[in-house]
Structure 1
Amino acid sequence: MESSVRSGLTKFKQLRHFTAVTLLALGLGACTGLPSRPARETPGAAQPLARMIVVTPDTAHDVLAQLLAGEMALTHADLKGASGHYDKAMALSADPRVAERAAALAIAVHDGAAAQRALDRWQLLGATPARMAQSRAELALDRGDTGEAKHQLELLITSGDKDAWRQFGRVLVAARDQAQAARLLEALATPQRLPDDAHAWLAMSELGDKLGRHAYAMQIANAAMQRFKSAETYAWAAQMRFKDGDRDGARALLQKALAKAPKNIQLRLAYAGMLSQAGDYAGASRLLGHGPQNIDTYGMRAGLAAHNKDEKALAALYRELQKAPPDVREHGAYLLGQLAEMQHRDTEALDWYGQVGDDDEHAFDADLRSAVILHAQGKLAQAHQLLGQMQLDYLDQPAQLRQAWQLDAELYLQEHKYAKAETAFSRALQVVPDDPGLLYGRGLTYAEAGQIDLAVKDFQHLLKIKPGDVDASNALGFTLADANRDLPEAERLIRAARAAKPNDPAIADSWGWLQYRMGHLDQAERTLRGAWQARKDADVGVHLGEVLWKQGHRQDAQRVFDEVRKLDPHSSSLQEALKRLHP
């Protein structure tokens, strides 16, 4: 019922404009048609207006009042109330549009009796055969009367109305019983009945695919391709072949489509997408590199180059986009920022991100990336100031607000400002309670701050929400091992994480550190050395160095510590380890 009400509300989004025009027309007509009686002569110098008597109908018989009440009900999402007011209004009005709206509202709220009254009134007032057939088909489908729906749909598609097939599709899309709609589609929208219009054929094929009748959709797509031989029909047939797993057939058809319309950017994008899905990234890049360009082709070319880690292609694309026409460049400010950032041109990236307009779909992401760059440049206050402004700007958009708070928290965590990081994570969790990413981040913050009980609580809560989550299991296991408490539970958790991701260096680091806590120095050294070779991470290096030191290999340990200093000159983990090793 809720979905039907929502669809009904969508259908009446244009009602306010209709009502304003109708009220004006009906209002003038109502005033001129009111009953009146001649004024009596009265002695003296009576004012002219004193002799005028205006007769006003009661609300129940006032079409304007009913229309206004119906409009008010719609603003409060009260479709049933609106239907009741329009039911009364259409009985009082000679305007066919009021009856039409009354019928549509009655169907939307599944009031068959009111819908029938409105349809009869509308027909009396001069509804076109096509529109009447469409509405009667909608009512029949709402009642589950397939036979009547089929009869009315046949009247619709044979009415000669230029929009008949479009209305036919709308009736079936809105049907409550999609299986019933699919059967009617196959029965009526046959190659013998469809008009000499490629768009109608493609629409019916797409509708069939949407309704789960893939074989029908393929049949109509192939028939349309054979009949019209247009770029659009070749492209749609290619898409259907691709869905069937026939990639070679799809590529062949897309080639034919491109031959028909070589400058069609959407066709090139579709073909390039198909090539990239098949693993032919070079072919996709070559295809997109020739012919007219827009921000979509530039974006896909950038994505392909980034996937291939082709720095030369990224640099060339950056230069090319900078020389693009002003309108393309204007819409490409965010992409230019990304390309600059990929090439470590952070100052240029900031400038491009600053040019992204407030109404651009990437405005939020541009600000988010700007904060990351400012922080990396050491402009910590500016980064947090920008994020603070974003938290105000997106106060009414929970998804964006969450991201702004999370990044703010993560940057504070990097700065070891744990209290501020915890505050930001907790604020975000008030907006999105039990969000796994936020719980994970706050748990790490507590762990780094030495608040082990709170960290364990967050990680355990996260595992209740996402049982068996690998990252949460590893984080909780490492936290317990690092605190040298409940080592059997830590072993169980990390072992499970390691089984799920046997080649993950972070999990290997946790396992190695657990072995160290358990006194298994040789096993700890082997595991940590493997993790260190897989990824030069400062914390992994600190753990390996401490194990080597405890084994008596102090020169080896010192070499590892020196490498850690190069990676992170301000590593707090290293400072803490050295205090333990040099008390």
Structure 2
Amino acid sequence: MAGCDRNRQVVWRNSVLSGTVKFKQVRQYVAVGLVVLGMTGCAALPNRSGPASPSTPQPLARITVATPDLDHDLLAQLMAGELGLAGSDLKVASQAYGKAMMISNDPEVAGKAAALAIAIHDPDGAARAIDRWQALGATPAQLAQARAELAVEQGRTDEAKHQLSLLLASGDKDAWRLFGRVLIGSRDSALASNLLESLATPDRLPPDPKAWLAMSQLGEQLGRHTYAQQLADGAMKRFGTADTYAWAAQLKLNNGDRNGGLNLLKQAQVKDPGNIGLRLTYASVLGQSGDYAQASKLLERGPQNAQTYAMRAALAASAKDNKALEQVYKQLSQAPSDVRESSAYLLGQLAEVLGRKEDALKWYDQVSDDDDHAFDADLRTAILLQDLGRSAEAHQQLAEMQTDYLDQPAQLRRAYEVDADLYLRDKRYAEAIDAFSHALQVVPDDPDLLYGRGLAYAQIGKINEAVADFRRLLKVKPDDIDASNALGFTLADAGRDLPEAEKLIATARAAKPDDPSIADSWGWLQYRLGHLDQAVEVLHSAWENGKDADVGVHLGEVLWKQGHHEQAQQIFDQVRRMDPKNSTLQETLKRLRP
């Protein structure tokens, strides 16, 4: 028992009096001390010298733990700075790091404070931060870079040039990279360009092709094309690597010298035939020029990866070469597992193009959830299911997508739109309207969605709703020719507001004089206006040019009304052979021959 006071003193000293203990640790040790005292029971033991005075406080009761204010709490300032950065509030972040650097001995904190002060255009704060950084041990290269950035920010050309020269003379292995960072971050491109050309000269650049290329690329980005080309040509002659040839080729292509660029790319590829990136670049340029065959041959040789297969497929598709597509599909489907897995979406696309819909479904099912094409793969799956007559599965797939992408408006809108389009295919217009309406809740006033829903309304005879959607669309997008035609036809078909219909269709016809659907609208309007001869002339021309089923039905009806029943019947028979289930034909025949 005699040791109880000593125990208290040990806990007291260890927990509170140590001046080197951090604040959070102090609070923790106090709590531990209380637990220890409670467990030993010392506080309940009688005092040997007599009863304890009730007014005498326990030792711990006299302890005061000092709590630093926020301005002097390093952790609080660092957290405030990071929260400011996370919220893109650079001013708050700069203020917090400015306070943090004064109570921290970490040079990185001062360096970050300097960078933030420069970023918010606070020259005084930046100067203080740089001085603090120097005091804490920043390297000469770091200091020169920061002071150069500040000088560039303030437009002090001579000082910027001086500091950049110090940076390049510092011997730092990253000096040229830091030099580039200073210039690329400048708001004054003219100043940055002048500094680049005056300091990054061939006689000062190190014997490293990467540095030459980096400065040439920086010059190109700053608009100094002549300087960029000179450095590129110099690097090519001095080092002769495939990369220097490739960059010099790119510059020639950028400046419109296609032949010169292709020649250099060819030489680069010869220097490094196994470089897949070079082959892809060379093939891409050839493909852009329409030389699909040569581009394909180039890519067929040498190592293959997901990118080469993808470009080969694109080239074959551009050339409409199904044989080449078949070859790519076969090779890719037998490629190593990692290539197949990363190319599952491409394999699905190729299978679709080649008419292998069941195979396409299997490939799309293998597209991983973190693949950039995951959404598209799910969408194509739904469309393929519909094509294969599995409509219920298609809509179930889209329903699941509408749940999965509930927090992604662009994808959610697309899932609803495809759902609506598939319902339209099946002439399930009520469900299509419902899907379009859900999509419009996600993206109100979307022109494509309004157009689709307007068509669906018109199909079930809800003319007022159809007209409302088309008019709303034209208010959002007044120059939408298809909407003008759709509204004009809907009004003409309903026999209402014919002057407005005539104006709308005339506008559409002037914009697209050869469009058969617009010609159909114009001919149908003439029929509604009682101009049968003109209607027949327009509709007959549209029918001959396009053989569209609805145009044929309209032409047949006008001929019937003129009494040319035999001619009309011939047209109806042709439409029936084209589209046996055409609902417009069926409805028209019921009216004409009740």
TM-score of the superposed pair, with normalisation by structure 1 = 0.87
The aligned counterpart of 2:417 is 406
Q: Report Cα offsets for 1:547-583 as digits up to 9, x if no partner.
A: 3433444344334333433443322222222222223
The secondary structure found in structure 2 opposite 1:255 is helix
CA distance in structure 1 between the aligned counterparts of 2:24 and 2:107, rounded to whole angstroms: 19
The aligned counterpart of 2:128 is 117
Aligned length: 550
| Cα deviation, residue 383, structure 1 | 0.9
Residue 274 (str. 1) matches residue 285 (str. 2): yes
C-alpha spacing 1:71/1:409, structure 2 compared with 1 (3 Å): same
CA distance in structure 2 between the aligned counterparts of 1:136 and 1:376, rounded to whole angstroms: 65
The aligned counterpart of 2:230 is 219
Amino acid at match of 2:221: K
Q: Mark the runs of 5 or more structure 1 residues left unpaired by the alignment.
A: 1-26, 35-41
Which segment drifts farther, 320-329 or 398-407?
320-329
CA distance in structure 1 between the aligned counterparts of 2:498 and 2:195, rounded to whole angstroms: 65
CA distance in structure 2 between the aligned counterparts of 1:62 and 1:310, rounded to whole angstroms: 69
The aligned counterpart of 1:485 is 496
Amino acid at match of 2:370: D
CA contact (8 A) 2:23 2:67 kept: no
Residue 461 (str. 1) matches residue 472 (str. 2): yes
Q: Report Cα offsets for 1:134-182 as digits up to 9, x if no partner.
A: 1112222333333322322222223221111212222222223334333
Residue 364 (str. 1) matches residue 375 (str. 2): yes
CA distance in structure 2 between the aligned counterparts of 1:183 and 1:525, rounded to whole angstroms: 72
CA distance in structure 2 between the aligned counterparts of 1:222 and 1:325, rounded to whole angstroms: 40
CA distance in structure 2 between the aligned counterparts of 1:478 and 1:195, rounded to whole angstroms: 72
Candidates 388, 397, 400, aligned match of 1:377: 388
The secondary structure found in structure 1 opposite 2:302 is coil
The secondary structure found in structure 2 opposite 1:253 is helix
CA distance in structure 1 between the aligned counterparts of 2:234 and 2:111, rounded to whole angstroms: 37
The aligned counterpart of 2:359 is 348
The aligned counterpart of 2:53 is none
Which segment drifts farther, 279-288 or 60-69?
60-69
The aligned counterpart of 2:10 is none
Q: Report Cα offsets for 1:383-439 as digits up to 9, x if no partner.
A: 111111111111121111111111111112222333322222222223223322222
Candidates 111, 114, 127, aligned match of 1:100: 111
Candidates 258, 265, 286, aligned match of 1:254: 265
CA distance in structure 1 between the aligned counterparts of 2:107 and 2:499, rounded to whole angstroms: 78
The aligned counterpart of 1:194 is 205
CA distance in structure 2 between the aligned counterparts of 1:193 and 1:358, rounded to whole angstroms: 50
C-alpha spacing 1:130/1:567, structure 2 compared with 1 (3 Å): farther
Residue 428 (str. 1) matches residue 439 (str. 2): yes
Q: Report Cα offsets for 1:485-524 as digits up to 9, x if no partner.
A: 3334333333333333333333333333333333444443
Candidates 564, 570, 573, aligned match of 1:562: 573
C-alpha spacing 1:562/1:377, structure 2 compared with 1 (3 Å): farther
C-alpha spacing 1:390/1:123, structure 2 compared with 1 (3 Å): same
C-alpha spacing 1:126/1:376, structure 2 compared with 1 (3 Å): same
The aligned counterpart of 1:137 is 148
CA distance in structure 2 between the aligned counterparts of 1:33 and 1:420, rounded to whole angstroms: 65
The aligned counterpart of 2:36 is none
C-alpha spacing 1:229/1:547, structure 2 compared with 1 (3 Å): farther
| Cα deviation, residue 304, structure 1 | 2.3
Which segment drifts farther, 348-357 or 181-190?
181-190
C-alpha spacing 1:558/1:243, structure 2 compared with 1 (3 Å): farther
CA contact (8 A) 2:243 2:268 kept: yes
Amino acid at match of 1:466: K
The aligned counterpart of 1:495 is 506
The aligned counterpart of 1:392 is 403
Candidates 217, 227, 233, aligned match of 2:244: 233
Q: Mark the runs of 5 or more structure 2 residues left unpaired by the alignment.
A: 1-18, 27-42, 49-56
| Cα deviation, residue 33, structure 1 | 13
The secondary structure found in structure 2 opposite 1:502 is coil
The secondary structure found in structure 2 opposite 1:416 is coil
Which segment drifts farther, 336-345 or 54-63?
54-63
The aligned counterpart of 2:196 is 185
Q: Report Cα offsets for 1:57-95 as digits up to 9, x if no partner.
A: 443333233223333443444332222222122111221
Q: Report Cα offsets for 1:304-352 as digits up to 9, x if no partner.
A: 2222322222223222222222221111211111111112221111111
Q: Report Cα offsets for 1:12-40 as digits up to 9, x if no partner.
A: xxxxxxxxxxxxxxx98857999xxxxxx
The aligned counterpart of 1:507 is 518
The aligned counterpart of 2:328 is 317
| Cα deviation, residue 362, structure 1 | 0.9
Candidates 54, 68, 73, aligned match of 2:79: 68
The aligned counterpart of 1:475 is 486
CA distance in structure 2 between the aligned counterparts of 1:551 and 1:222, rounded to whole angstroms: 78
Amino acid at match of 2:364: Y
Amino acid at match of 1:136: R
| Cα deviation, residue 254, structure 1 | 1.0
Amino acid at match of 2:256: G
| Cα deviation, residue 118, structure 1 | 0.9
The aligned counterpart of 1:443 is 454
Q: State which structure, 1 or 2, has the greater radius of gyration over its C-alpha atoms.
A: 2
C-alpha spacing 1:431/1:213, structure 2 compared with 1 (3 Å): farther
The aligned counterpart of 1:550 is 561
The secondary structure found in structure 2 opposite 1:570 is coil
CA distance in structure 2 between the aligned counterparts of 1:472 and 1:421, rounded to whole angstroms: 18
Which segment drifts farther, 151-160 or 389-398?
151-160
CA distance in structure 2 between the aligned counterparts of 1:569 and 1:579, rounded to whole angstroms: 15
Q: Report Cα offsets for 1:194-218 as digits up to 9, x if no partner.
A: 2222222222222222223333323
Candidates 141, 160, 169, aligned match of 1:149: 160
TM-score of the superposed pair, with normalisation by structure 2 = 0.85
The share of aligned pairs that are identical, in percent, is: 65
C-alpha spacing 1:575/1:256, structure 2 compared with 1 (3 Å): same
C-alpha spacing 1:279/1:102, structure 2 compared with 1 (3 Å): same
The aligned counterpart of 1:9 is none
Amino acid at match of 1:141: V
C-alpha spacing 1:44/1:172, structure 2 compared with 1 (3 Å): farther
CA contact (8 A) 2:152 2:186 kept: yes
* RMSD, matched Cα: 2.9
C-alpha spacing 1:461/1:94, structure 2 compared with 1 (3 Å): same
Amino acid at match of 2:385: L
Amino acid at match of 1:190: T
